[in-house]
Structure 1
């Protein structure tokens, strides 16, 4: 006699969550495409001012991927 194993996220209220890979690809690709358009501040002669803006875009892309993985883990 075996006890059924609960599936991850089965205990969460609401309808089951789904993940749309095409939407995730499009969102991440859109963020990465903007990396080259980040410009330095007017007073930044060396161009190092681009790094914080690019880091912010990479962080946003990372958050999209982390959220997708967390959602898949619950399915």
Structure 2
């Protein structure tokens, strides 16, 4: 007798979540490219607070993309 074992989340209604690794890479790479471009193309010193805050925001957004992808994978 072969009884299938339900996977986590299969009992939940709605579409099953998916993660497209290529999309995750694309989003993170685009955000990190913007961070690098800001650092290279700016005449402002690295100590400029607004520049640092903008770079921190970009890095936080890249982090959020990765955390969301991992969270989705955990639910699959």
**TM-score for the superposition, normalised by structure 1:** 0.75
Q: Does 2:22 match 1:22? A: yes
**TM-score for the superposition, normalised by structure 2:** 0.74
For these two proteins, the number of residue pairs brought into alignment is 70
Q: Distance in 2 between matches of 1:68 and 1:7?
A: 18
Q: Distance in 1 between matches of 2:52 and 2:21?
A: 29
After TM superposition, the runs of 4+ consecutive aligned structure 1 residues lying more than 4 A away are none
Structure 2 gap segments, 5+ residues each: none
Asked if structure 2 preserves the Cα contact closer than 8 Å seen for 1:10 and 1:74, the reply is no
Asked if structure 2 preserves the Cα contact closer than 8 Å seen for 1:9 and 1:73, the reply is no
The two structures, once aligned, show a CA RMSD in angstroms of 2.4
1:5 deviates by 4.7
Q: What pairs up with 1:1-75 in 2 under 5 angstroms?
A: 5-38=5-38, 46-48=45-47, 49=49, 50-75=51-76
